[in-house]
Amino acid sequence: MPYAVYKVMHLLGILMLFLAYGGVINHAINGGTKTTNIWRFSSAVTHGLGLLLTLVGGFGLLAKIGISWPWPGWVIVKVAIWLLLAVVVGLAARSAVLGKGLWWLLLLLGALAAYMAGVKPF
């Protein structure tokens, strides 16, 4: 596939992840529970597909620019961020207090991932 397809796939996955996080965290902050969340399934599907598209698109981009094992440090940081984004959704849905903290943490993780991809510092 062309580079542009992987780029769009990767960015769409990121948008889907943050859309799902916004919905889940907003629901928790406003006092919602697991049983009252009528969008729970849609949020989970959006989150899961976002993770998949981000991963496939990211590794497609790495292949297109000729990066293979051993990965440079910036790729390892981005994979670690992806893993955090994969598991932290469960915490976001559990409580308003966690959701408020995760709201800002997710923004920082997104900024760090963008920095790593744009600057490739190591």
CA dist 31 and 25 (Å) reads: 10
The pTM of this model reads 0.88
CA dist list (Å): 34 to 28, 39, 104: 9, 10, 22
- Average pLDDT value for residue range 27-39: 80
State the total domains in the chain. 1
pLDDT, one tens digit per residue, over 39-78 is 888 989 999 999 999 999 999 999 999 998 999 999 999 9
Domain range for 71 is 3-119
Q: What's the whole-number average pLDDT of the chain?
A: 91
